[in-house]
Amino acid sequence: MQFKHPELLYALFLLLIPILVHLFQLRKFKKEAFTNVAFLKKINIQTRKSSSIKKWLLLLTRLIVIACIVFAFAQPFFTQSESATKAKETVIYLDNSFSMQAKGPSGQLLKTAAQDLITNVPEDQNITLLTNTETYRNTSVKDIRNNLLQLPYSATQLSENAVILKAQKAFTHNQNTDKRLVLISDFQDKGTPPTNIPEGITTSYIQLSPVIKNNVSIDSLYISAKKPRSYELTVQLSTQENREVNTSVSLYNGQTLVAKGTAAFDNELTTIVTFDIDNSNVIAGRVVIEDPFLAFDNTMFFSINKSRAIKVLTINGGNSSYLKRIFTAPEFNYTEVDVQNIDYSTIQDYNYIVVNEVAEIPTALVVAIDAFAKAGNIATIVLNPSTDIVSHNRVLQSLGGFNATESNPNKQLITTINYDHPIYNGVFDTRIKNFQYPSVSSSITVQGGDPVLKYEDGSSFLTTSNGIYIVTGGIDTTNSNFKNSPLIVPTFYNMSRQSLSLPPLYFYASTNTSFDISAQVTEDQILSLKDISDDKNTVIPLQKSQGSKVTITTSKELEKAGIYDVLKEQNTIQQISYNYARDESILRYKTLEKSDASNYASAVSELFDTFKAENNIQSLWKWFVIFALFFLLLEILILKFYK
């Protein structure tokens, strides 16, 4: 038994008063003379015995009355747990990620959880509510009722570690409070390790489970083939369980329905659907399926813009016919010029420059190439083996990161490929160990940079540093057969593609993405991204102007899926598409294990009923008032009727 006001128990010393009165009350008896002394003595004995019993009974009832009154004012009570009497700090995490769109026994999981919080959390209880996007500190359910009912779904989901870190910041440093963290989610299993719960925090998990887990989602789409007048668009879909019912798939360009197809899984968990789309028009596309389970993965946006050619400039000192065959229209806008006829003012207009076996590279060109690469562009210098080492060193050391050590007149085979380098990433299906090695008759030994192709002696044939590629041996047929090798096309093609990172069909929202826009802007001009379906949703991304292109970087500030216009002074340059990540589509859930510091429930009401039981205080002061009145009445009866 505990007391709400234990300091009042000092009033029990009042019990001494009736005891002292009982022990020390002194009465003076008068003596009277009677004729029959024997009779008088007998009556006197009986009266004194009766009076003594009555006094003890009265003393006992008075002591009990005083004690009951003192206990009643001290307010005794019983509790179900030690924490019932502590002040409470409650932080609730409500997962509003897309997977909470799934339907449970009473409707969508998020809507059900929000309604249950409103119903079960006491209106006057102070709480902190965390979601994936918002934080409501030191509030009550009554104050945020409308926010709960209108809580939107979020493309991002906080990890359990992130939730605990945010909760720790919300809790005070008071050691005497009972800190409770309640996590409400479906707890998808994403392979993350178990989370260590900090000491002093009691964690409760409410795992909400959907009734049906057979979700169909659009996982990806890509151009699988390019035809003379069309593209073949392949849409990949997946499901969680075998399905016998086909799924309708629709292709739109803007608001116009272009084509319809049917996805048949045929006892498989994945399938594809293909469409032919006209390649002569700009496509603001979206693929839509009909699936009632989760809505966010039923649509995938994509953009196909008018082809923008990569501007390539070749500065010739040798035969460049092989470059003409690689950089063909319409993908490339190819220009070649002799070293004597360079217009340095136009260099910044190009995306990729090849200095092809120029015997004596002018200092002005070296400075221009260095500035060109530092602006984020790519340049390739094919060294002329007949040039002396001093001239090579002047050029290479000015560009930084390279050093020419000697001329090598011996024939060497190119035997080693750095398959992990970006220009060869995805080029080869397997890492070939034995192929028809190209050779170089004479070369320049160059140190520094990141080797991409190596000779048999380990020195570099192609090396790179800070956007500049150095080819150490001439590619002219008189010196090398490299131009006849299968390596020639992917090497130069992918070096040029690095110079202008054109956006793919789509990006994922709320992730770090970077792409290039072929445009020139002044210092006062900026590019913005505007949602074509919502004029109010306009984002100004991080951007960097680099000559003839602008590099745009987006991160978490762009969180809504859709098609966005890239605007320059209200003029649309091209379109970019963003989609929600598909990891929420995988309906695989954790099996939560109970521990001493954790509680588990399958519904909000179940957990908060447990809290109410733990916090229940059985007050006893009313009983002590009743006992005091009872013994007071008993005292009156004794005084009146006991003789």
Residue 384 counted as domain residue:
yes
C-alpha span between 87 and 220 (Å, rounded):
51
DSSP 97: B
Domain around 43: 2-80+619-641
DSSP 3-state of 553? strand
The strands making up 549-554's β-sheet, listed across from edge to edge, are 513-517, 549-554, 542-546
> Cβ(412)–Cβ(457) under 8 Å?
yes
Residue 29 counted as domain residue:
yes
The pLDDT assigned to 240 comes to 83
Residues 106 and 189 in one domain: yes
Tokens 């011996």 belong to which residue? Answer: 410
404: number of Cβ within 10 Å:
24
pLDDT digits (tens, 9 = 90+) for 459-473: 999 999 989 999 998
Please give the single-letter amino acid code of residue 1: M
> Cβ(557)–Cβ(155) under 8 Å?
no
Residue 607 counted as domain residue:
no
The pLDDT assigned to 77 comes to 67
Q: Which residue in 521, 529, 524, 525 sits closest to 545, CA to CA? A: 521
Global pTM value: 0.69
> Cβ(276)–Cβ(234) under 8 Å?
no
The CA R_g of the chain, rounded to the nearest whole Å, is 43
* Letter string b/e over residues 611-643, b meaning 16 or more CB atoms within 10 A of that residue's CB: beeebeeeebbeebeebbeebbebbeebeeeee
* Letter string b/e over residues 346-363, b meaning 16 or more CB atoms within 10 A of that residue's CB: ebeebbbbbbbbbeebee
Distance in Å from the first CA to the final CA of the chain: 39
Residues 452 and 319 in one domain: yes
Q: What is the DSSP string of 334-386?
A: EEEEEGGG--GGGGGG-SEEEEES-SS--HHHHHHHHHHHHTT-EEEEE--TT
C-alpha span between 539 and 507 (Å, rounded):
15
User: What CATH number is associated with residue 545?
Assistant: 2.60.40
User: What CATH number is associated with residue 138?
Assistant: 3.40.50.410
DSSP 3-state of 34? coil
Q: Find the length of the chain.
A: 643
DSSP 3-state of 583? helix
C-alpha span between 642 and 636 (Å, rounded):
10
What are 365's two structure tokens? 């060109």
> Cβ(496)–Cβ(529) under 8 Å?
no
Residues 454 and 336 in one domain: yes
Residues 525 and 459 in one domain: no
Residues 493 and 567 in one domain: no
> Cβ(438)–Cβ(491) under 8 Å?
no
The strands making up 270-278's β-sheet, listed across from edge to edge, are 216-226, 230-239, 270-278
DSSP 3-state of 72? helix
Residue 220 counted as domain residue:
no
Residues 357 and 475 in one domain: yes
Residues 201 and 244 in one domain: no
Residue 582 main-chain phi, psi, to 5 deg: -100, 10
Exposure of 463 in the CB half-sphere (CA atoms within 13 A): 24
Tokens 């009550």 belong to which residue? Answer: 140
Residues 320 and 426 in one domain: yes
Q: Which residue in 363, 291, 357, 348 sits closest to 319, CA to CA? A: 357
> Cβ(237)–Cβ(245) under 8 Å?
no
Residues 54 and 140 in one domain: no
The pLDDT assigned to 596 comes to 46
C-alpha span between 624 and 300 (Å, rounded):
71
Angle formed by the axes of helices 109-120 and 604-615, nearest 10°: 20
**47 vs 54, 56, 61, 333, CA distance in Å?**
11, 15, 21, 132
DSSP 410: S
Asked whether the bond before 490 is cis by omega within 30 degrees of 0, the reply is: no
Segment-wise mean pLDDT, segments of 10 residues, the chain, 643 residues: 73 78 64 61 54 78 84 73 69 92 89 91 88 91 90 88 89 84 88 74 88 88 84 91 86 93 88 89 91 90 87 90 89 91 89 92 93 89 91 89 89 90 80 78 92 93 93 87 89 88 86 87 89 90 85 89 92 93 86 67 81 67 83 80 69
DSSP 40: H
Cβ burial of 519 (10 Å; 0-12, 13-18, 19+) is: middle
10: number of Cβ within 10 Å:
10
Residues 332 and 470 in one domain: yes
Residues 328 and 472 in one domain: yes
The pLDDT assigned to 50 comes to 61
Residue 17 main-chain phi, psi, to 5 deg: -65, -55
The pLDDT assigned to 230 comes to 84
Residue 594 counted as domain residue:
no
Q: Which residue in 94, 164, 210, 203 sits closest to 594, CA to CA? A: 203
DSSP 3-state of 508? strand
Count: domains in the chain: 5
What's the distance, CA 97 to chain centroid?
10
Residue 542 counted as domain residue:
yes
Angle formed by the axes of helices 16-24 and 37-74, nearest 10°: 170
User: What CATH number is associated with residue 318?
Assistant: 3.40.50.880
> Cβ(348)–Cβ(547) under 8 Å?
yes
Residue 589 counted as domain residue:
no
Residues 200 and 335 in one domain: no
Residue 203 counted as domain residue:
yes
276: number of Cβ within 10 Å:
15
**430 vs 423, 426, 452, 495, CA distance in Å?**
15, 9, 17, 21
